[in-house]
Amino acid sequence: MAENRKILVVEDERELCSILYADLTSRGYEVELARNGQEGLEKLQTIEPDIVICDRAMPVMSGYQMLERIRGSYPQYKNLPIIFLTALTDPRDRHSVDHLNPTAYLEKPVNLDKLADTIAKVFAS
Q: Give the chain's domain count.
A: 1
In this predicted structure, the answer to whether residue 1 has a pLDDT above a threshold of 60 is no
Residue 71's pLDDT is what?
85
Residues 64-123: pLDDT tens digits?
899 889 888 888 888 899 998 987 666 676 667 777 778 888 989 999 999 999 999 999
Give the sign of the dihedral formed by CA 18, CA 19, CA 25, CA 29.
negative
CB 120 within 8 A of CB 91: no
Give the range of the structural domain holding residue 64, as residue numbers without chain letter.
6-124
Residue 75's pLDDT is what?
87
pTM for the full model? 0.91
* Residue 86 included in any domain: yes
* Residue 85 included in any domain: yes
* Residue 1 included in any domain: no
Euclidean distance between CA atoms 70 and 43, whole angstroms:
12
Per cent of the chain over pLDDT 70 is: 90
Mean of pLDDT values over 31-60: 93
User: 55: domain CATH number?
Assistant: 3.40.50.2300
Euclidean distance between CA atoms 82 and 104, whole angstroms:
7
